[in-house]
């Protein structure tokens, strides 16, 4: 059983986190643990028809954002990896500075200290030097920065085709097979 921790913050792009949870529900041998920030619940209402309860229902286990005593706050609780999608700049800074004052930031810190896979999907543009420095710090600690930067060689027709390409890239980082988008197979020149 692979346990995967999914954090959804209040940054724009909550559909990426929702879609990741939807896809993982169909993957045998994966148990998802969700941490939904307070800001995420607000963004859900602006950007989707999902409620916080509906998103929570997509996960196997839900942990309260303010519960620092949750199992996932300890390195002794084994998880395969963690994805923060979307990752707000506030959450990025908390992770980069090891500020574990909420469960999402604490679980990310634990993921890094245990040398487990941490994937952050930052949703902000343009970026200033502080954002870039925090991304560098997380990368130096072993995290992966995976912005939702769509490719177009797979001929997306809908917004969900674009979302699926980013979700597929996240799954690639976690070593989970998928068919969410057509992979580049070269061109005859």
For the annotated binding site for FMN, the residues are: 10-12, 37, 88-91, 123
CA distance 21 to 15: 10
First-to-final CA distance of the chain: 44
Residue 125's contacts (CB-CB under 8 Å, 6 or more residues apart) are: none
Annotation: binding site for dimethylallyl phosphate: 153, 169
Question: Are the C-beta atoms of residues 107 and 143 closer than 8 Å to each other?
Answer: no
Name the binding residues.
Answer: 10-12, 37, 88-91, 123, 153, 169
Question: 80: buried, middle or exposed (CB in 10 Å: 19+, 13-18, 0-12)?
Answer: middle
C-alpha distances in angstroms, 188 versus 50, 182, 185? 44, 17, 10
């Amino acid at each position: 059983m692979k346990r995967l921790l999914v954090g959804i913050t209040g940054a724009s792009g909550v559909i990426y986190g929702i879609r990741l949870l939807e896809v993982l529900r169909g993957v045998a041998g994966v148990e998802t643990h969700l941490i939904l920030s307070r800001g995420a619940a607000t963004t859900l209402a602006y950007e989707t028809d999902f409620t916080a309860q509906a998103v929570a229902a997509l996960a196997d286990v839900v942990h309260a954002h303010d519960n620092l005593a949750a199992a996932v706050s300890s390195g002794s609780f084994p998880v395969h990896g963690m994805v923060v999608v979307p990752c707000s700049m506030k959450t990025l800074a908390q992770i980069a500075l090891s500020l574990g004052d909420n469960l999402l930031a604490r679980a990310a810190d634990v993921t890094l200290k245990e040398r487990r896979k941490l994937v952050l999907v930052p949703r902000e543009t343009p970026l200033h030097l502080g954002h870039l420095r925090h991304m560098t710090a997380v990368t130096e600690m072993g995290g992966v920065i995976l912005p939702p930067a769509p490719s177009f060689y797979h001929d997306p027709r809908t917004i969900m085709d674009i979302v699926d390409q980013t979700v597929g890239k996240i799954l690639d980082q976690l070593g989970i097979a998928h068919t969410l988008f057509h992979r580049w197979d070269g061109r005859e020149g």
